[in-house]
Amino acid sequence: MAGSLPKDTRILLYGNFFREAQQDVAHSGISDLIQIVPQLDHWLALSQMLAADVLLLAINSSSPRGTLSSKIFEYLRAQKPILAMVPAQNEAAGLLRACNQDLICAMESPDSILHCLKRVLNEPLRQYHVPWELERQAQIRKLAQTLQARFGN
């Protein structure tokens, strides 16, 4: 696969990683493409998201159901393709599909990851939009309506 990637391909992984994850990268066969970058200030991390061509979201199968990381909403707001290595039946996958983000593969399945990577490389770029109901002002209105219904004026 590395031989068929565009020449300037780089995979930047941001954050703090356990030694085992760093060793996995070192023995991956594509370690020359991967750079681990220490955790960034939040605003700088957001600017890096906006500069990326594709965002990588990883949620392993052992994560508890019903949990949505704020990262997924930040990624959606960036309006970039999201390569989501998440369980196909969890809430994150459902939200992504509802937002026209369908690059979903199990992180434990190299074949499905390869399939999604090929799609990223070969399909034309699409426009991604934040659904109106997920926009901040819509969420604030919904919260206000819920609070007013619950507690009155």
Q: Please, which residues have CB within 8 angstroms of residue 98's CB and are 6 or more apart in sequence?
A: 131
Tokens of 38: 């220490």
Q: Please, which residues have CB within 8 angstroms of residue 16's CB and are 6 or more apart in sequence?
A: 38, 39
24 three-class SS: helix
Q: Please, what is the average pLDDT of the chain? A: 87
For the segment 20-48, the average pLDDT, to the nearest whole number, is 91
Q: Quick check: 30 pLDDT over 60? A: yes
Report the pLDDT value the prediction gives residue 104, as an integer from 0 to 100: 95
Q: Please, which residues have CB within 8 angstroms of residue 50's CB and are 6 or more apart in sequence?
A: 78, 80
Burial class (CB in 10 A: 0-12, 13-18, 19+), 102: middle
Taking the C-alpha atoms of residue 80 and residue 76, their distance in angstroms, rounded to an integer, is 7
For the segment 117-128, the average pLDDT, to the nearest whole number, is 86
Tokens of 130: 């934040």
Taking the C-alpha atoms of residue 80 and residue 59, their distance in angstroms, rounded to an integer, is 18
Q: Are 72 and 92 in contact (CB under 8 A)?
A: yes
Taking the C-alpha atoms of residue 127 and residue 139, their distance in angstroms, rounded to an integer, is 23
Better-scored residue on pLDDT, 132 or 82 = 82
For the segment 85-110, the average pLDDT, to the nearest whole number, is 90
Report the pLDDT value the prediction gives residue 38, as an integer from 0 to 100: 94
| Buried/exposed code over 123-133 (b: 16+ C-beta within 10 A; e: otherwise) | eeeeebeeeee
Q: Which helix (H) or strand (E) holds 116?
A: helix 110-122
Report the pLDDT value the prediction gives residue 82, as an integer from 0 to 100: 96
Tens-place pLDDT, residues 55-77:
999 987 777 777 788 889 899 98
Report the pLDDT value the prediction gives residue 153, as an integer from 0 to 100: 66
CB atoms within 10 A of CB 92: 22
Report the pLDDT value the prediction gives residue 1, as an integer from 0 to 100: 57
pLDDT band at 3 (very low <50, low <70, confident <90, very high): low
Better-scored residue on pLDDT, 135 or 78 = 78
